[in-house]
A and B are shown apart, each in its own frame.
Chain A
Amino acid sequence: MSLAADLSPSKAQSRQHGPAVDQAPLVPRRRNRHRKERLFQWLFLVPAVVYMALFFGYPVVKNVIMSFQDYTTATFFTGEAPWVGVQNYVTVLSSSLFSTSLLNTALFTIGSILGQFVIGLALAIFFQRKFPLNGILRSLLLLPWLLPLIVSSAVWRWILDKDSGALNRFLGDLNIIETGVPWLTSTSLALIAVVGVNIWIGIPFNLTILYGGLQEIPDELYEAGSLDGATGWKAFRYITWPMLKPVVSVVLVLGVVYTLKVLDIILGLTNGGPANSTQTIATQSYALSFQEFKFGEGAALGNVLVIISLVFAVLYLRASRRAVDE
C-alpha cells in the first residue's frame, strides 16, 4: 500500500523532470541518465523499504517463527529456542479457553462496533444542525479519546464498583435497583459492562469520521431532494446513507481491527475475569506471553488474532479502493 503510494509521486516527478532538464541529449548520455534515474527511483524507495522491513517485516516474521518454537525465558539468555512445529498452535487451539476467548472476542467486537457506530452516527447527524455551543459540545465529546486508556479504565472501574460505585449509587437513588449490581464481578454482566466502556471510548472516533463524511455531502442534494418530497427519514435513507456508504465501510472495518486487539481496557477493568468471562484472544495471548512466560504459545495465539484482523484489513483495502473509485 504505502510502497506504491511512495513510489508513484517520485516516479511521476522524475519523468516530468527528465526531458525538461535535458536540453541536448546524446544517445549514450541519455541511457546513462536513464540508469541514473532508475537508481534514484530505487533510492527513493530505500527509506520506505527499510522502515517497513525494520518495523513491520521483522516483528511479523519473528512472531511467526516464535510461534513454531519452544520460546521461553531461557531463550533470551541462551538464544536457544527448539523448533516444535505446530505444537504451540495445537496447544492454544485445543485449550478449553480458546472457544471462550473466541466467542468473547466476537461478542466484544460486534457489541462495541454496533454501539459505537449507531451512537456515533446519531451524534454526527445531530451535530449537523446549527445550534449554539455546537462546536464546544462536539469537542467535549472527543474527551474519551484524549484520555489515556489506563486512566479511563481505572475511572470506570470505580464507577462500576458494586458497593460504592457511582453508577449503582445513581440507580439506587432513582429506585431502579435495590441492591448493588455486580457490573464487573458477575459472569453474565462483566462482558456487557466492558463493551459499554469500549463503546464510550469509541464514540469520538466514529463521530469525527462520520461527521466529516456528512460535511462532504453537498447541500444541493438535500435541496433538490426536498423539492421531490425527500425530507427527514427519506432524506437520510435516499441521500445521506448512500452518500455516506464509503465512509461507513471504512469506519466499520477500521473499528473492527481496532476492537479485535483491545487489551488495556479489559486488563484495566476486569483482567479477563470473572472466571474468564471477559477473556478475549488478545488478553489470553498477553497472559500466555507475559504472565506465564510461554512466549511460543502467546505468539501462536497472537498470530491467530493477526489472521482474523487480516481478513478485515483486506476488506478495508477493498472498501477504501471502492471509495476512491466512487
Chain B
Amino acid sequence: MKSAFTRNRPLATAVTALVGLPLLLAGCGASSGSAGSENVTEISVMDYYNNEPDKSFIGDALNSCAAEAGVTLKRETVPGKSLISKVLQQSSSKTLPDVLMLDNPDLQQIAATGALAPLSDFKVSTEDFAPGVLSAGTYKDKVYGLAPTVNTIALFYNKDILAKAGVTPPATWDELEAAAAKLTEGDQYGLAFNANPTYEGTWQFLPLMWSNGGDEKNINTPETTQALQLWTDLVKDGSVSSSALNWTQADVNDQFLAGKAAMMVNGPWQIPALSKQPSLQYGVVKIPVREAGQTAVAPLGGEVWTVPQTGNKARQAKAAEIVSCLNSDKNQMSMAKARNTIPSKTSLAETFAKENPKLATFTELVKTARARTGQLGDGWPAQATKIYTAIQAALTGSASPGDALKQAQGQ
C-alpha cells in the first residue's frame, strides 16, 4: 500500500509539471483579440498620470470624450518611469493600447519604430497649434501626436525677499548674477536650479543655451559656452548651492518653499505646492537672456496623445476621435486651468493668460517655445546626455565650460 503510493507520486508530479508547462507558456502569449469588427464599443488608453489630482482631471476629459465618441474607456495609468519600457514591451507583443500618451521628447523615438499612426490618416486637425507643439509631435514631416496642454520653465522669485533686499527681478544675465549674489546670505542662496546628471539637468539649461543662439546639434560653440559659463559662475560664486548638481526640480522647489533660495528655475506644475503656503508671495518672469533684446526661448514640455498602429482601422479611427476631442478648444482650456498648464493652441493664449494671470509668463513663453526633439529627433537622448555631462564637468570644476562642452561633443 505504502510502496504503491510512493511509486505513484513521482509520476503525478511529473505529469503535473508537464501539464502545467504549456499553460504557463500560453499565459505568456499575447491575446489581443481584436478581430477587426466595425462596431467599436471599447477603447483602451494608457498614460502616466497615475497621481491625483492629474489622474482625475485627465480621466474626466477622457471620459467625456469617450462618451462623445460613443465608446467606453479602459484606462491604464502607469508610473512615468516605466511608461517607455511598457510601450516597448507592448509594441513587441502587439498589444499597444488604442490611445497612447507619451512625454513629448519620446514621441519621435516611438514614431521612428513605426508603432504610431500619422494623425493625418484620420483627418485630425493640426491647425492653430503653437509651432513648438507641432514640431514636438512631428516625425519626418508627419504629425503623430498632439498635446492639449503644454508647459515650460521660467524664473520664480520670492517677492518678499527681493523687496527686502531692494532687488528687482532680473532680465539679463548680468542682472541675474548681481541679484543672485545680493540675495545670498546666511542660509539663503540667491538662486536654485537643477543641474543633475539626467535629462532634467539638460532641460533646465536649455533656455540659456537657446536664448543665446546656442544649438543642440553642436554644443561646442561660443554661444553655448557663454551659457555654461553663467551656470558655472553662479555656483562658483556661491550664489547657487553646489547641491544643484544632485537636485531634482522637486528639490529645487523645496528649497524655494523653505525660503532657502530667493529665486528658482521651475515650471508651472509646482504652482499647487506653492499655493499651499499662502505666506509665500511669488512672481514669475522669463529666464533672463544674456543681453537685453535677445528673445527668451524656452523648452517645451508636456505630453502628447497618439494613435498606435494596432492594425484595426475602425478602432484607430475611434481613437483618433478621442485624441481630436482632447485637443478641442473647450478641453484645452479646462485641462490647462485645472492642471496649471498652457493650452497649446495660440488662439487660446490671450484669453487664457487673462483668466489665469499666474500663468501669463508661461503662456507668453509657450508661443515661441522650442521642442527638444525638433532638430535631432530620435538622436536627442544621446545629445541630451552630452549636454548634462558637460554641465556636470563644468560645475564640478573638472573642466572649464569650453573644454567640458568640447569633450562632451567629441564623445
Residues of A within 8 A of B (CB): 10, 14, 17, 20-21, 40, 43-44, 46-47, 50, 72-79, 95-97, 157, 161-164, 182, 184-187, 270-277, 287, 290-294
Query: Is B385 in contact with chain A by the CB < 8 A criterion?
Result: yes
Q: Which residues of A contact B407 (CB under 8 A)?
A: 96
From B7, B114, B189, B395, A274 is in contact (CB under 8 Å) with: B395
Query: Is B398 in contact with chain A by the CB < 8 A criterion?
Result: yes
Determine if B92 and A276 form an interchain contact, defined as CB atoms under 8 angstroms apart.
no
- The 6 nearest A-B residue pairs measured at CB: A43-B14, A273-B197, A74-B113, A77-B113, A275-B392, A185-B245
Q: How far is the CB of B264 from chain A (nearest CB, A)?
A: 14
A73-B112, A74-B114 known; A40-B91 Cβ under 8 A: no
Per the bound structure, the CA–CA distance linking A301 and B397 in Å amounts to 28
Q: Which residues of B contact A44 (CB under 8 A)?
A: 10, 13-14
Determine if B21 and A162 form an interchain contact, defined as CB atoms under 8 angstroms apart.
no
Per the bound structure, the CA–CA distance linking A185 and B115 in Å amounts to 40
11 interchain pairs (CB within 8 A)?
A: A40-B11, A46-B18, A74-B114, A77-B91, A163-B243, A270-B197, A273-B245, A274-B395, A275-B393, A291-B199, A292-B381
Q: Tally inter-chain residue pairs, CB-CB below 8 A.
A: 124
Q: Which residues of B contact A40 (CB under 8 A)?
A: 10-11, 14
Q: How far is the CB of A58 from chain B (nearest CB, A)?
A: 11
Per the bound structure, the CA–CA distance linking A102 and B14 in Å amounts to 46
Per the bound structure, the CA–CA distance linking A78 and B113 in Å amounts to 7
Per the bound structure, the CA–CA distance linking A73 and B87 in Å amounts to 10
Query: Is B52 in contact with chain A by the CB < 8 A criterion?
Result: no
Extra contacts besides A43-B10, A76-B115, A275-B197 (6): CB < 8 Å = A14-B10, A46-B18, A78-B113, A161-B243, A187-B398, A276-B197
Query: Is B56 in contact with chain A by the CB < 8 A criterion?
Result: no
- Chain B 331-353 per-residue mask, 1 if CB under 8 angstroms from chain A, else 0: 00000000000000000000000
Per the bound structure, the CA–CA distance linking A47 and B16 in Å amounts to 10
Query: Is B196 in contact with chain A by the CB < 8 A criterion?
Result: yes
A74, A182, A275 pick with most chain B CB within 10 angstroms:
A275
Size of the chain B interface, CB-CB below 8 angstroms: 48
Per the bound structure, the CA–CA distance linking A105 and B378 in Å amounts to 30
From B7, B84, B198, B378, A21 is in contact (CB under 8 Å) with: B7
From B85, B396, B411, A275 is in contact (CB under 8 Å) with: B396
Q: How far is the CB of A221 from chain B (nearest CB, A)?
A: 43
Determine if B14 and A186 form an interchain contact, defined as CB atoms under 8 angstroms apart.
no
Determine if A162 and B242 form an interchain contact, defined as CB atoms under 8 angstroms apart.
yes
- Which chain B residues numbered 1 to 49 have a C-beta less than 8 Å away from chain A? 3, 6-7, 10-11, 13-14, 17-18, 21
Per the bound structure, the CA–CA distance linking A73 and B378 in Å amounts to 10
- Which chain B residues numbered 82 to 130 have a C-beta less than 8 Å away from chain A? 84-85, 88-89, 91-92, 109-110, 112-115
| Nearest opposing residue in chain A for B254, CB measure | A164
Determine if A73 and B88 form an interchain contact, defined as CB atoms under 8 angstroms apart.
yes
From A20, A97, A162, A293, B381 is in contact (CB under 8 Å) with: A293
Q: Which residues of B contact A95 (CB under 8 A)?
A: 411
- Which chain B residues numbered 150 to 176 have a C-beta less than 8 Å away from chain A? none
Determine if A270 and B85 form an interchain contact, defined as CB atoms under 8 angstroms apart.
no
Determine if A186 and B242 form an interchain contact, defined as CB atoms under 8 angstroms apart.
yes
Q: Which residues of A contact B18 (CB under 8 A)?
A: 43, 46
Per the bound structure, the CA–CA distance linking A182 and B243 in Å amounts to 7
| Nearest opposing residue in chain A for B398, CB measure | A275
A43-B10, A163-B241, A184-B246 known; A274-B260 Cβ under 8 A: no
Q: Which residues of B contact A275 (CB under 8 A)?
A: 197, 389, 392-393, 395-396, 398
Per the bound structure, the CA–CA distance linking A258 and B383 in Å amounts to 32
Determine if A50 and B21 form an interchain contact, defined as CB atoms under 8 angstroms apart.
yes
Query: Is B292 in contact with chain A by the CB < 8 A criterion?
Result: no
Q: Which residues of A contact B113 (CB under 8 A)?
A: 72-78
Q: Which residues of A contact B199 (CB under 8 A)?
A: 291
Query: Is B187 in contact with chain A by the CB < 8 A criterion?
Result: yes
A76-B88, A271-B197, A275-B392 known; A287-B109 Cβ under 8 A: no
| Nearest opposing residue in chain A for B404, CB measure | A275
Per the bound structure, the CA–CA distance linking A275 and B395 in Å amounts to 8
Per the bound structure, the CA–CA distance linking A272 and B114 in Å amounts to 33
Q: How far is the CB of B187 from chain A (nearest CB, A)?
A: 7
Per the bound structure, the CA–CA distance linking A265 and B88 in Å amounts to 26
- Which chain B residues numbered 346 to 389 have a C-beta less than 8 Å away from chain A? 378, 381-382, 385, 389
| Nearest opposing residue in chain A for B411, CB measure | A96
Per the bound structure, the CA–CA distance linking A270 and B114 in Å amounts to 35
Q: Which residues of A contact B3 (CB under 8 A)?
A: 17, 20-21
A274-B197, A292-B382 known; A185-B389 Cβ under 8 A: no
Q: How far is the CB of B411 from chain A (nearest CB, A)?
A: 7
Q: How far is the CB of A184 from chain B (nearest CB, A)?
A: 5
A79, A96, A276 pick with most chain B CB within 10 angstroms:
A276
From A77, A162, A271, B92 is in contact (CB under 8 Å) with: A77
Per the bound structure, the CA–CA distance linking A56 and B13 in Å amounts to 23
Per the bound structure, the CA–CA distance linking A187 and B243 in Å amounts to 12
Q: How far is the CB of B341 from chain A (nearest CB, A)?
A: 25
Q: Which residues of B contact A182 (CB under 8 A)?
A: 242-243
Per the bound structure, the CA–CA distance linking A123 and B14 in Å amounts to 47
Determine if A291 and B381 form an interchain contact, defined as CB atoms under 8 angstroms apart.
yes
Q: Which residues of B contact A50 (CB under 8 A)?
A: 17, 21
Per the bound structure, the CA–CA distance linking A313 and B63 in Å amounts to 54
Q: How far is the CB of A161 from chain B (nearest CB, A)?
A: 6
Q: Which residues of B contact A75 (CB under 8 A)?
A: 113
| Nearest opposing residue in chain B for A267, CB measure | B198
| Nearest opposing residue in chain A for B391, CB measure | A275
From B115, B395, B411, A77 is in contact (CB under 8 Å) with: B115
Determine if B89 and A273 form an interchain contact, defined as CB atoms under 8 angstroms apart.
no
Per the bound structure, the CA–CA distance linking A74 and B115 in Å amounts to 8
Per the bound structure, the CA–CA distance linking A286 and B246 in Å amounts to 18
Q: Which residues of A contact B198 (CB under 8 A)?
A: 271, 291
Determine if A46 and B17 form an interchain contact, defined as CB atoms under 8 angstroms apart.
yes
Determine if B17 and A47 form an interchain contact, defined as CB atoms under 8 angstroms apart.
yes
